[in-house]
Structure 1
Amino acid sequence: MTKPETKSGAGGALPAVPANYDAPAADLVTEMTGFLSDFSAFQADIKSRLQQQEDRMTHLDRKTISRARPALSTAVEADAPHQKAFNSYLRSGDDDALRGLELEGKALSSSIAAEGGYLVDPQTSDTIRGVLKSTASLRAVANVVNVEATAFEVLVDHTEMGAGWATEAGSATETDTPQIDRIQIPLHELSALPKASQRLLDDSAFDVEGWLATRIADKFASSEAAAFISGDGIDKPKGFLTHTAVDNDIWSWGNLGYIPTGAAGDFASGEAADAIVTLVYSLGAKYRANASFVMNSKTAGAVRKMKDADGRFLWSDGLAAGEPSRLMGYPVLIAEDMPDIADDAFAVAYGDFGAGYTVAERPDLRILRDPFSAKPHVLFYATKRVGGDVSDFAAIKLLKFSVS
């Protein structure tokens, strides 16, 4: 059979092929091979374009997530190497990773064993600070500052500034020479020494950092709470009750003023609430806005029974969970280290402790692992530096359980 002629249709249409035409096998194979080759090239091109599009979208998503990521998340990722290295040190004593971070400048300021141990990881440090802040300690109402030096200085100007209405012809009154007191608060080393068995540390399910943070925080909290109230200032903070207390009628700077209850070791009979009212208004108005009471549980048990002349209780419990109770509308801090009611005891304090008492501390907390001193246990020597003292003697008043 001869191959039929091809005729061009209008507009360059394909040639007409009779239905009964049988193409040779070789031509069919050639056509199919070309078609499959072109189709494969087309598939490869589509896949390449889709992959490029996916890569661009992934890149955009990463940039968007990076920009939207909270600062805390970034900080956690940045602190992860230090936390992992610190965990390894606590469990096995391997400090190579910590030293490596120190050389790279990643371990905060430094982590040098010669200075008393390695810096704890930020997450553990934040846990300890959170517990200290939430405990029933004067820290909860005091002024807390972070310092890098060995002491913190407070400059207090308690001069009565001269002021008056000026006239065009009259002379202005000269202001008196300022009376500035410099109060220095030295920092002391606070330590804790929890211990754990090596077998417990080898258990991967044991949260060594959480356990250590809890033990250290409990020890620090109890030591601090006592020192801020009655510490003698020798190798520890100086408590506000350690300062000389004088009758508020003769109060002078450098002392704390007190109000007597009118009865030895008790409130005056029939006039119990009067001493509380007098104590409140013995404090200057500028301090009362942020003032609070400080007493222990036994004293609180006696005070909460008090009523005013109309039979209303002076004490009111907090309306919400975590809100402190109030006495005459002012919050009450229950600090168990305050003295009990007794003869001449200063069992109740009232004042603006944010102005009146300052807690100064270094932000770093160090841990030194000691596997030798208490075998088979491992000791963890934790240290931080903290100090405290009265920074404004006019901001705190005391209630003395005495006749005068």
Structure 2
Amino acid sequence: MSMQALRERLSQLNKDAKNQLEANGSKTWTKEDKEKFDAIMDEAERVQSQIEANQRVLDQAAENDFSKTPRNEPGSKKTELQQGLEIFMRKSFREMSQEDAQKVRNTMSTTTGSEGGFTVQPLVATSLIDLLKAYGFMRRVADQITTANGADLAYPTSDGTTEVGEIVAQNIPATSADPTFGTRSLNVFKFGSKIITIPIELIQDSSIDIVAMVQRRMRDRIGRAQNVYFSTGTGTAQPMGLFTAAGVGKVGATGQLTTVTYDDLVDLVDSLDAAYLDNPPSTPEMPNVEPGWMFSQSMRRVVRKIKDTAGRPIWTPSYDEGAAAKTPDRLLGYPVNINNDAPAAGANVKSIAFGNLHKYLIRDAMDVTMFRFDDSAFVSKGQIGFLAWSRSGGNLMDVNSVKTYQHSAT
């Protein structure tokens, strides 16, 4: 079955499940109702797993054989900065004319690194940072900022959820209640793309958009690495991950090493202050403001089948998912974000996060460094190597805004 057919099948299954939810309404579900819904969800899980497996194969093939290589648009004009970056990627210093070398110096730093490395100018760094901002599970929900450099940063925070006003009688002075301010560390850490090897034939092909091709590889590799640490980083010599920073809102009962119940999820939602649940829904102008869930695909398999006290499923599938993917599935009325770098279920593990996920803040530094390797180790294999260093960090700015479900210890 083709990928398109699989996506259409998944969309239809989710639509069937949603139609069943709407048709049954608020009535108590029978055994047959539950079995029918679970069968649809099981099939949807199988189809979705097949789609994701096929996509991984396609992505790996593209990585290995350079399929889907970006190409330059005929007649398109490039800025001097774009030209300088392309010259840097296509030519060694020995091959550059004086004009070429000047364009490279204007695009990159004025000093050549010991191994052909340059700290790129902010306008060039922006292109890679913008690619990163649209990549990765955590970046889809987190707020993001960019700073000119990677200097240590203590970000100011303030929690006003417990502050209460007062009634003041006539001629009685108001009581003082100064807000409490704190700071959260938002330092950046160096992430590397590992060396990306490109065949010389592609380097020499002027129709290939070499800049887009290399930057896409850098984005994929750095983005995957960053998502792991933004999810579960310890905060020591690495970013503080969302699941690490968030407090525990509900602990599973003894024996729930890999499971979660309906009551657990309800308690987890209610572990947040009501002020965090009143945010307006997401809009194109202000996305990611609605409270939501985050967990892995393996945990989704567990949660999808949970029923409420009347036997009704608490999972609401979106039939756009897998096709247009415009709207997420919902759990207890809140959107679900799947992050396969979220912790897997296990003893004492925090596997489910709920709350204002956009309170996690990702910081990108503009000091991006790029290297080009054309020594004998690469040229003898008919290749040129590229390497990028990018600096990023993350932390949960308001630890009360997100709570987690933690499995039992035994």
Whether the aligned pair in 1 keeps the contact of 2:87 and 2:104 (CA below 8 Å) is no
For 1:183, the equivalent position in structure 2 comes to 184
The change in CA–CA distance for 1:174 and 1:85 in structure 2 (over 3 A counts) is closer
1:97 deviation in Å?
4.7
Give the match's secondary structure for 1:190.
Answer: strand
Which of 244, 259, 267 is equivalent to 1:267? 259
Give the match's secondary structure for 2:377.
Answer: coil
The change in CA–CA distance for 1:396 and 1:112 in structure 2 (over 3 A counts) is farther
Q: Quick one: percent identity of the two aligned structures? A: 21
The change in CA–CA distance for 1:87 and 1:136 in structure 2 (over 3 A counts) is closer
Whether the aligned pair in 1 keeps the contact of 2:243 and 2:353 (CA below 8 Å) is no
1:41-88 deviation per Cα after TM superposition (whole angstroms, max 9, x unaligned): xxxxxxxxxxxxxxxxxxxxxxxxxxxxxxxxxxx96x6222122112
Give the match's secondary structure for 2:306.
Answer: coil
Distance 2:230 2:310 in 1: 37
Q: How does 1:53-202 map to 2 (within 5 A)?
A: 80-94=79-93, 97=99, 100-101=102-103, 107=107, 110=109, 112-114=111-113, 116-119=117-120, 126=127, 128-129=128-129, 131-149=131-149, 150-158=151-159, 160-175=162-177, 177-192=178-193, 193-202=195-204
Whether the aligned pair in 2 keeps the contact of 1:137 and 1:225 (CA below 8 Å) is yes
Which of 353, 356, 370 is equivalent to 2:357? 353
Q: How does 1:304-383 map to 2 (within 5 A)?
A: 304-320=304-320, 321-322=324-325, 323-355=327-359, 357-363=360-366, 365-372=368-375, 374-376=377-379, 377-383=383-389
1:165 deviation in Å?
1.5
Distance 1:92 1:107 in 2: 14
1:130 deviation in Å?
5.2
How many residues of Structure 1 are paired with residues of Structure 2 in the alignment?
Answer: 308
Distance 1:349 1:373 in 2: 49
Q: How does 1:242-261 map to 2 (within 5 A)?
A: 242-243=244-245, 256-261=247-252
The change in CA–CA distance for 1:398 and 1:206 in structure 2 (over 3 A counts) is same
| TM-score, length of structure 1 as denominator length | 0.68
The change in CA–CA distance for 1:233 and 1:97 in structure 2 (over 3 A counts) is farther
Which of 391, 399, 410 is equivalent to 1:393? 399
Whether the aligned pair in 2 keeps the contact of 1:367 and 1:381 (CA below 8 Å) is yes
1:283 deviation in Å?
1.1
The change in CA–CA distance for 1:235 and 1:371 in structure 2 (over 3 A counts) is farther
Supply the RMSD in Å over aligned alpha carbons. 2.9
Distance 1:97 1:391 in 2: 47
* Unpaired runs of at least 5, structure 1: 1-75, 244-254
Q: Which has the larger radius of gyration?
A: 1
The change in CA–CA distance for 1:174 and 1:117 in structure 2 (over 3 A counts) is same
The change in CA–CA distance for 1:309 and 1:113 in structure 2 (over 3 A counts) is farther
1:94-118 deviation per Cα after TM superposition (whole angstroms, max 9, x unaligned): 4655652477xx649x565449515
The change in CA–CA distance for 1:196 and 1:297 in structure 2 (over 3 A counts) is same
Matched to 1:239, the amino acid is: G
1:199 deviation in Å?
3.4
* Unpaired runs of at least 5, structure 2: 1-75, 280-289
Give the match's secondary structure for 1:241.
Answer: helix
Whether the aligned pair in 2 keeps the contact of 1:185 and 1:387 (CA below 8 Å) is yes
